Structure 1
Amino acid sequence: MSDSPQVQVSVLMRREPVQGPMARWQSHRWVLDDVVLHEAGFGDEVRCLRETEDHAQWLFPNWSVALFPDDAEGYWLNATSPTPCWFVMWRMIDHEGHAPRAEPQAVSLSYHDAGRWLDAQETVETIPAPADVVQWALAFAQHHYVPEVKKRQRPQSFRGLTDRFGQPASVSTTDKRKGGAGQGA
């Protein structure tokens, strides 16, 4: 794939009954159950781990999560947040002859990836990442992330005045523009 450092993960998705007033419109929902480091014993095939009338759990193995130098800020933002996490973007997929199921489309450790997916109206869920993965991402981010140098902002009092159309405007403290009665008398 690429020379970027990466880790293989497996995603678990869960179908569960909906509780409370929302159950009037939707009997079940899909949620992200877990993201775990991939193990050879998981294989490479998507499979149902368990299914009942109310619950189901599906395994989506062998997802690559790569780190890229140009997204180091996104990893740094995640790794230094109070709860560093995996970001999983998933979609409902129809399968002929079967009920639709939630399937992951991408997994990332970058805040920027998650933001782009959310901006595109995708479903994104998070789950806490293990400490060793967070340290791995943080070390990568610290090596590649260069914070942008902030330029000093000029005080607002020195900005030129403009009207709402962007034309130069002036402010006067004299009474030279009092209209109406009393002028020219």
Structure 2
Amino acid sequence: MNPSTLQDAPLLPQRLAVSVILEKRPSISRWADAYWTATGVVVGTNEHHTVTLLHEQDGIQQYLYPGLSVSLHRDECDGYYHNLQSPQPGCYIIANLAADGTPSPYIVTLSFDEANSYLQGSAEVYAVPIPPELYRWTEAYVLEHYAPEKKKKRRLTDWQNDNDRGH
């Protein structure tokens, strides 16, 4: 391939705009008024940067949280690769909880390792299936920037004939 072809090839964006859909359900617990869960991630920009009620039925409300993005980083490629190879590739939504239990999402990641690090802290982490657009984008990024390491076979030690240990 000649160098001019490489220069003309479109670069993958490292960041994509997304919105998150969270669902609020009445709680059956006496300790909380509502139960929140994530139901999806939508790729693309939204002109409105305010939380919008999308749907309400039987006390269940779905809200769109716009203005977020997903970023890919080369040092996380191993995590992206394993996420894409898993039986259920996921998108992880990181949120802070207000005093009343209302979530405020602030990060969307495709790295299980990053999501797990937030889970170890005080953040709420929701997992949803990865949308096809994010899957294809992440797959292209991983193919461009990552080569899984081949597993090396360990050399087995013969413990029965090991006289060097003084046993």
Report which of the two structures shows the higher radius of gyration computed on alpha carbons.
Answer: 1
One-letter identity of the residue aligned with 1:14: E
One-letter identity of the residue aligned with 1:5: Q
1:159–1:89 distance in 2 versus 1, CA, 3 Å = farther
Task: Select 1:35's aligned residue among 41, 45, 56.
Answer: 41
What is the CA-CA distance between 1:141 and the residue it aligns to?
A: 0.8
Greater Cα offset, 149-158 or 45-54: 45-54
The answer to whether residue 23 in structure 2 is matched with residue 14 in structure 1 is: yes
CA distance in 2: counterparts of 1:135 and 1:49, whole angstroms: 27
Unmatched runs of 5 consecutive residues or more in structure 1: 162-167, 172-185
Q: Residue 103 of structure 2 aligns with which residue?
A: 102
CA distance in 1: counterparts of 2:52 and 2:58, whole angstroms: 17
CA distance in 2: counterparts of 1:18 and 1:52, whole angstroms: 15
1:46–1:159 distance in 2 versus 1, CA, 3 Å = farther
2:91, 2:127 within 8 Å by CA — same for their partners in 1? Answer: yes
- Listed as ranges, the matches of 1:155-174 within 5 Å are 155-157=156-158, 170-171=166-167
- Indicate the percent of aligned positions where both proteins have the same amino acid: 28
1:4–1:133 distance in 2 versus 1, CA, 3 Å = closer
2:50 aligns to what SS in structure 1?
coil
Q: Residue 181 of structure 1 aligns with which residue?
A: none
Counting matched residue pairs gives: 155
Greater Cα offset, 85-94 or 32-41: 32-41
Q: Residue 177 of structure 1 aligns with which residue?
A: none
1:156 aligns to what SS in structure 2?
coil
CA distance in 2: counterparts of 1:153 and 1:14, whole angstroms: 48
1:157 aligns to what SS in structure 2?
coil
Normalising to structure 1: TM-score of the pair? 0.69
2:83, 2:89 within 8 Å by CA — same for their partners in 1? Answer: yes
Normalising to structure 2: TM-score of the pair? 0.75
RMSD, matched Cα? 3.0
Unmatched runs of 5 consecutive residues or more in structure 2: 1-11
